[in-house]
Every structure is written in C-alpha cells, then in structure tokens.
C-alpha cells in the first residue's frame, strides 16, 4: 500500500480569505465614517464568508451537478452527430434513387472527412465515371449509326426487289447491276 501525502491548501486559502475579510471590514469601518458606497464591499465580504463556510458535501454536490451537466451535453452532442449522419445518409439515398451518379459522388465528396473510407475512393471515382459515361455515349452513338445503316440497307434491298418485280424479272437473276447493288448493300 502506498501512501501519497498531499498538502492541504484549503486551510491556507481560508486564512488568506479571513485576512482579506478583516482588511475589507477595516476598510468598511474607515469608509463608514465617510459617505462612501460600502454596498460592494459588503457583498464581497458575504461571498468570502459563504466560501469559508462551504463544506465538502456542498463541494461534492456541485461537482456531481457539473458532472451530470457534462453528461447531458455529451448525450446532446452524440444525438446531434447521429442526426447529421442520418441526414447525410438520407441525402445520399435520395441521390441514389434519382440515379445521378455524378451528383451522388459530388455529395459524398462534399461531406467526406479524412477518417472516412470515402476520402480515398471519391477522388478517382469522378474521373472513372466520367470516362465510363463518355464510353457509353460513344457506344450508343455507334449503335444508332449501325441501326441507321441497317435500315438504309434494308430500304435499298426492298427498293431493288420491288423494281425487279415491276420489271418482271426474277429476283435471283445475277446481272452486273444486281451484283453491284448487292455489293453496295454489303458494304453498308
């Protein structure tokens, strides 16, 4: 068992306060003979006397009250942090439901912090998503071009077949003009 001795500073404080009280009383007595305002000194004297009379139980009660107040503030801060996280998740969910990836990533970037896993991922996502979206646009334009070309070939073949039928010739007859028209359709 270790015993740690500590100096009791309270007795020194009490003696200092008592000497201050005595000095203030002396000042008050001096000024009482005059017309000076003594009310502020009286308040100081009362506060010092109250402090000297304060017991350890009173100090402990004050300490418990401060601890309870601190815990309430911690709980309130925790609730506020949880609300902020819920709001952030709600906003991200709305953006996801909307289907706009770039807005979702911008929102994640605006709410990121250095401890979050998003801080390392978000920086590259924007570039990668922009690249993927540009590829998607190129592919869709190529698909449209292929569709138009196919429609053009089908119209040319249909027109050629109708012309052949009007002329009363067999569609399978292999003249040079027919072969040229078919080779053009093949190139398309």
Q: Against a cut of 0.75, is the pTM above it?
A: no
pLDDT at site 68: 94
What are the distances in angstroms from CA 27 to CA 13, 41, 121?
Answer: 21, 9, 72
| CA angle centred on 177, ends 171 and 183, rounded to 5° | 85
Least confident span in 8-17, 56-65, 125-134, 176-185: 176-185
Task: Give percent of the chain above pLDDT 90.
Answer: 11
* pLDDT of 138 strictly over 60: yes
pLDDT beyond 80 at 102? no
CA–CA gap between residue 17 and residue 26 (Å, rounded): 14
pLDDT at residue 30 is higher than 90 = no
């Amino acid at each position: 068992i270790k015993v740690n001795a500590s100096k009791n500073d309270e007795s020194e404080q009490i003696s200092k306060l008592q000497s201050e009280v005595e000095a203030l009383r002396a000042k008050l007595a001096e000024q009482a003979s005059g017309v000076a305002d003594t009310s502020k000194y009286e308040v100081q004297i009362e506060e010092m006397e109250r402090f000297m009379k304060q017991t350890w139980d009173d100090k402990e009660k004050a300490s418990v009250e401060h601890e309870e107040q601190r815990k309430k503030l911690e709980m309130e801060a925790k609730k506020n942090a949880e609300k902020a996280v819920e709001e952030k998740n709600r906003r991200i969910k709305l953006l996801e439901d909307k289907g706009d990836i770039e807005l979702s990533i911008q929102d994640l970037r605006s709410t990121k912090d250095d401890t979050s896993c998003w801080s390392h991922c978000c920086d590259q996502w924007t570039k990668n998503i922009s690249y993927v979206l540009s590829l998607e646009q190129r592919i869709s334009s190529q698909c449209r071009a292929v569709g138009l070309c196919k429609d053009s070939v089908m119209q040319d073949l249909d027109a050629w077949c109708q012309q052949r039928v009007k002329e009363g010739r067999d569609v399978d007859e292999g003249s040079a003009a027919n072969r040229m028209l078919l080779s053009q359709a093949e190139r398309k």
